[in-house]
Amino acid sequence: MTTLPPPDQAVPHSVRFESLVVEKDAPLRLLIIDGSPLRRACIAVALDTPDNQILPRTGLDPSGEAPDIILFQTGDSEAESVALPLQIGEAKRIWPHAAILVIADHGNDALMLAAFAAGAQGVLRSSTGIATMQRALGLLKDGLALYPASLALTMRARSGLARQDDSDERVALAVDRFKLLTKRQRDVLRLLAQGASNKDIAQRLNISESTVKVHVRAIMAVNGASNRTQIVAHLLKGGYGED
């Protein structure tokens, strides 16, 4: 017969619970820049998920949290096309570690190429689905670049031109850069080459002097020039294309 120990001498049973803490990645901080409040609101709603934190700022304001990705969405107006390279340059100056994604309305290939030239890591057409756009944000956060397959041939052709002799390379580069400009910017560039002042250009093209200055800054951004003299110097060294 087995004798049980008194209750006060019973061996206690202990149960140990171990918890596994799984750390979740911090949400991706996304800054959306769009000249149209309606377009911005639509894309913000579409991309607002637990994995994304839509920053409340609507412009390139350096205060507050730094974004992981800056999304520029543009329409098809000339003003937006002119401003985009300048905005990208300013964004890179303020947040050098943030990736830049451009959504180009109507698949504007020239605008997408200009965005890449200005420093964007990714470009997509406005017809891109939301699920694909979400995946694109993840790729950009991981340090990858992305662009539509249709641009690959153009970019490959550019890389092929780099293997030509030095003189052909300069001409090809100047023509390539010229094609990134809008028609109005090309008009301004031709007049700059003729030595016209901002006032002369404004009168001949029937636009304001402030608009001329915006075009000149955009041309400088595309050509890597810091002043009007350098624009003309680059033009004369390489030549430029016609319409």
Asked whether the beta carbons of 72 and 43 are under 8 A apart, the reply is: no
Q: Are strands 69-74 and 52-54 parallel, antiparallel or unpaired?
A: unpaired
Q: Quote the pLDDT of residue 241.
A: 43
* Cα distance between residue 100 and residue 133, in whole Å: 13
Per-residue pLDDT of the chain (243 residues; tens, 9 = 90+): 556 555 555 555 555 555 555 556 788 999 999 888 888 999 999 999 999 999 998 888 888 889 999 999 887 677 777 788 888 988 999 999 999 999 987 667 778 888 888 889 999 988 888 999 999 999 998 888 888 877 766 666 655 544 545 544 554 555 455 666 788 888 888 787 777 888 988 998 999 998 888 888 888 877 677 777 777 666 655 444 444
Report DSSP state, residue 150.
Answer: G
Q: Quote the pLDDT of residue 78.
A: 72
Q: Are strands 99-104 and 52-54 parallel, antiparallel or unpaired?
A: unpaired
Q: Quote the pLDDT of residue 21.
A: 53
Q: Quote the pLDDT of residue 242.
A: 42
Give the pTM. 0.57
Asked whether the beta carbons of 32 and 57 are under 8 A apart, the reply is: no
Q: Quote the pLDDT of residue 113.
A: 81
Domains of the chain: 28-151 (3.40.50.2300), 165-238 (1.10.10.10)
